Structures are given as C-alpha cells and as structure tokens.
Chains A and B, each alone.
Chain A
Amino acid sequence: MILFDNVTKFYFDDAPPAVEGVTLSIKPGEFVSIVGHSGAGKTTLLKMLFAEVFPTQGSVFFGDHEIPRLSTRELLKLRRNIGTVFQDFRLLPTKNVYENIAFALEVAGKSDEDIQADVPHVLDLVGLGEKIWSFPHELSGGEQQRVAIARALVNQPDVLIADEPTGNLDPINAHDVVEILKRINDLGTTVLLTTHNKAVVDSVGRRVVTMDQGKVVRDDPHGTYVL
C-alpha cells in the first residue's frame, strides 16, 4: 500500500541528508511505530507521504499513485485520504471543536446533513462529546490531541499518520491516545506512529522501524523500543 523506494532527502546541499536511501513497504492495516533519536529522519519520512516535502532521490508510492508526480489537485485529494496528528495538535485556533472537525468534512465535499451527523459521532469515539462547542484554548493538551485525532479520523482515511502525538502529553493522556490509535487500527486503518516514548512503543507491541542518521537500522515485526 505504501512504498518508500530508496528515498533520500537533502534540505541543504552542504548538510548531510535528513533521510538516506530508505526503502520501506507498509501493508494495509499495519500499525508501524517509527522510532529514533531527534533528527533521525522520522518526521521527514512521514512528511514525504503527505507531500509536505518531496524526496531529492527515489520516490514514494501510495497505492497506485507516485506522490511526487501528482498534480496539486491530486495531492489535495490524497491529503483528504490521509489523517494527520501532530505533537503540537495543529487545530484551527479561531474555530471551536465542532468547526475544526467539520472543516475536514467540508473540504472533502460532505453535505451539511452528513457533517451534523458525523461530528458528534466521531467526538463520542474519542470521548469528547461534551466539549463540542469549546475552543482549543479552553481544552487541555490531551483533549486537544483527541480533537486532532477526531479530525484525522472523520473522513475515514486509509492511513493515519501520528507524528509524536504523545510528545506534549502526560503519561495518562499519552496512554489514552495510544489506546485510541490501537482501536482505530483494529478497525482497519493503517497507522504510522513516530515517537521517542519507549513505554508507548512497548505497549503497542506491533512492527517497529528504528531510524538513525536518516537510515533504517532495524525493522522488527513485533518489536520493542531498542536504540
């Protein structure tokens, strides 16, 4: 389903590559944790999947699509098919919880009736049904992250990318978020998770890809966090 084909990414000509010669294949329905120190290339690898950066060499495939060759219109469509969750939540600060999630549905072309039905439903799924009219600044970090997950999920994407989703959370909230990700994966969505957090990786107990200095140094189908 997803294939990183010998990808290398240079941000600057005179600096070492952020990602170097990575080949990685991910099947539908997998839960893959990508671990490594800061600067190991985890985030760059994920960014290439939702076309925020493009590889300098090699290519990235999503299904039948070669991402660097897609037009702007096709890339926007691809992004609607990939849910993204980040360490800094990236919610729309001037929109309330309902509007944040509705926005993702609107750009996917859903009708007002569908949106009114889907938003409360997905919020119940992440346990935030009561906070539907709150603004992001009125929520705790854990709650904001759950809104971000709800937004990523609401279009029923094929893939959910979670880039350090527990980085700003306390252990209890981090545990809750991982449980939600596991549940989403159980429902058939492919999940790509990057993290520094050993407890998180160990609790997932699925495939672990370890990166170091831009390269994949270990790919363990039932791994734990080893650096």
Chain B
Amino acid sequence: MSLWTNVKRVSRYGFIGFIRNGLVSVAAVFILIIALFFQANLMISNAAMTQTLEELKQKVGITAYFQPTATEDQVMATKQALEALPEVALVTYTSRDQALADFRERHANDQLTLQALDELGENPLGASLDVQAKEPSQYETIATFLDARQTEGTSGIDKVNYSDNRLAIERLGAIIDSSQKNGITKEIILGICALIIVFNTIRLTIYTARDEIGVMNLVGAGHWYVRGPFLVGGMFYGLIAAVIVLVLMYPILRFYPVLIGLDPTAEILFGSFDSFGYYIDNFVLFFFSIVGAGIGLGVVSSYLSVRRYLKM
C-alpha cells in the first residue's frame, strides 16, 4: 500500500474525527484561541515596548552649550572628538544663528521676551551640540569626557547639562533594563502556562478516545496509522484557532484593544504606538507565527497524548 494512500486515509479519519467529536473539538479550539491571542498580545506588547523605548532613548541626551564667544572651529573640534568616541551614536550641531531662530520661534507669542532680545542688539546665545549615546548607560562616560574638555578651558564649552538630566537618564536606563528582563521572564512563565493548559485540553480530548486507540491496536494497526488521525485532528484545532485569532485581531485592534489586554493606560504609556497599524504592516509575520504556533501546539500535544495509549 502506497504512502499516499495511507496519508489520504489518515487525513480523512482525522477530519471525520474532528467533525464527529464536535463538542470536544470546539473545546480544544477555544482553548487554543485563548493561547494564541495571548501570543499575539505578547508580540504587540513587545513591539510597543521596543518602539517606545527607542523613542524615549532618542529624546534623552546630553547637550553641551558653548559660550557665545566660542568660535565655530572650537565647536567643530569638540564635535569631531565626540564622534570619535565609540559610545556616541549621533552628534547634532546647532549654530548660534540657528539657536536664535529656534528661540524666536519658541517665543513667537511672547512679545516681551522678543523685545528684550532685540534691545540686546546682538545674539546672546551660544552654539550647542546634542549628543546621543548608543546605550543610556553610556551617558556617564560622555559627560565625563565633556566635563574634562570644559575644565581644560580651551574648548569654549560653557555648560554641560548632564547633571540636570542625570536622574532621568539613570532611571530610564533602569526601566529599560528591568522591562526587558521582566518582559522575557513574563513571556517564559505565561508561555509555559499556556502550553500546559493547551496540552491538558488536548490530552483530555484524546483521553475520551483511549478505548478507540486500544481497539485500533487490537486489529493490528501500526502506531503511525493509529496516531495519524489524532495528529491531523490536532492540526485542525491549531489551524482553525489560528485563523479565528488572525481574523478577530483586526476588529479588536481597530476598535477595542482592551479585549486582548492592551488597555487604554497601556496605550497612554506606549504613547504614539499604533497597534492596529503594526498588525497590518506585519501581517505576514503574525500569520506565520500564529498559524505555526497553533499547528505546532495542536500536533505536538496530540503526539504526546496518543503515545501514552499506544501499547506494545
């Protein structure tokens, strides 16, 4: 008998079993839906956290303010020295003129300040360099470097604002560190819980068929012939649950993200993160992850559950 004939028969029995054990199948699919929603939620939360942290990282930085008398060459020398540091990701130069223009724009509605500025007659603002580090923990090194240059007295640096931002920078570093560690721990623990629940549900569905497995053994069916329909059944559970989750994610993320744990406070915390847009843009990733996880969970759980009842 050909392999193809066997595959055909096993698939047919798997499908028939799935349909005829309607209630049991619905229960298994339901539990898998919950597990897969959980996975989708984790994927979105992780993306939201990563993006928010990236944005925060960019917002934090060190600014070196130069004296108004500092020459452009002095500023550029410091800029080049900073760029040579391995810890530095980006140095942005703001010229004196630009600083003045920014100041005027910021105070466009404050006539008093603008008048005072005009009365000064000359630009009182110095140039500045905004420095961004690759990692929040590296600001300390950069600040030390800038402080040293300031002390030398030849660089023209008037003030380094690290000490002002120090607390915020250190806290951000700690938050990023702990949220990444917590995220991984949370994922592992909840992932194991989901796995155990799914496995036990599928084990129950197969427990109800244990006599049937015994009869199949008795008439001389090979192990793979007995196991096959249950693996196909597990595949159906996973596939159907995955498709339902992928479809339901659309309206949920669009209108009601709280349903899968993305509550409004999370939205506020994550600021501008657009979970719906992220889902649509990364649909292929979601499709393969959710379908893969669904089928994988269904098939592996079925395999392990049937093994118990295969005698000999």
Segment among B117-125, B173-181, B219-227, B237-245 that sits at the interface with chain A: B219-227
A18 CB-CB contact with B under 8 Å? no
Contacting pair B211 A94 (CB below 8 A): no
A169 CB-CB contact with B under 8 Å? no
| Residues of A with C-beta under 8 A to B215 | 90-92
Contacting pair A111 B218 (CB below 8 A): no
Contacting pair B16 A79 (CB below 8 A): no
* Most A-side CB within 10 Å, residue of B5, B218, B220: B220
| Residues of B with C-beta under 8 A to A151 | 219
* Contact status of A106 and B9, CB under 8 A, knowing A94-B16, A94-B20: yes
| Residues of A with C-beta under 8 A to B21 | 94
Contacting pair B218 A79 (CB below 8 A): yes
Partner of A92, one of B212, B223, B225: B212
- Chain A interfacial residues counted at CB < 8 A: 29
Contacting pair B1 A111 (CB below 8 A): yes
Contacting pair A90 B220 (CB below 8 A): no
Partner of A94, one of B212, B218, B219: B212
A76 CB-CB contact with B under 8 Å? yes
Contacting pair A93 B212 (CB below 8 A): yes
| Residues of A with C-beta under 8 A to B17 | 94
B84 CB-CB contact with A under 8 Å? no
Partner of A107, one of B16, B212, B214, B222: B222
- Bound CA span A37–B217, Å: 28
* Most A-side CB within 10 Å, residue of B219, B223, B311: B219
Contacting pair B216 A92 (CB below 8 A): yes
| Residues of A with C-beta under 8 A to B108 | none
* Contact status of A76 and B220, CB under 8 A, knowing A91-B215, A92-B215: yes
Contacting pair A107 B312 (CB below 8 A): no
Q: Write the chain A residue with the least CB distance to B213.
A: A92
The B interface, classified by DSSP as helix, strand, loop or mixed, is helix
Contacting pair A103 B219 (CB below 8 A): yes
Partner of B221, one of A51, A90, A95, A107: A107
Contacting pair A72 B312 (CB below 8 A): yes
Contacting pair A50 B219 (CB below 8 A): no
- Give the Cβ gap from B156 to chain A, nearest Cβ, in Å: 86
Contacting pair A84 B9 (CB below 8 A): no
* Most B-side CB within 10 Å, residue of A75, A91, A104, A151: A104
Q: Write the chain B residue with the least CB distance to A73.
A: B222
* Contact status of A108 and B212, CB under 8 A, knowing A75-B312, A94-B17, A94-B21: no
- Bound CA span A90–B215, Å: 6
Contacting pair A79 B212 (CB below 8 A): no
A222 CB-CB contact with B under 8 Å? no
Contacting pair A80 B219 (CB below 8 A): yes
A133-161 vs B: 1/0 string, CB under 8 Å?
A: 00000000000000000010000000000
* Most A-side CB within 10 Å, residue of B20, B215, B223: B215
- Known A76-B222, A84-B218; 6 more pairs at CB < 8 Å: A80-B220, A90-B215, A90-B218, A94-B209, A107-B225, A109-B1
Residues of A within 8 A of B (CB): 50-52, 72-73, 75-80, 84, 90-95, 99, 103-104, 106-112, 151
**Cβ contacts A to B, 15 pairs, < 8 Å:** A52-B311, A76-B220, A77-B220, A79-B217, A79-B218, A79-B219, A84-B219, A94-B17, A94-B209, A103-B216, A104-B219, A109-B1, A111-B1, A111-B5, A151-B219
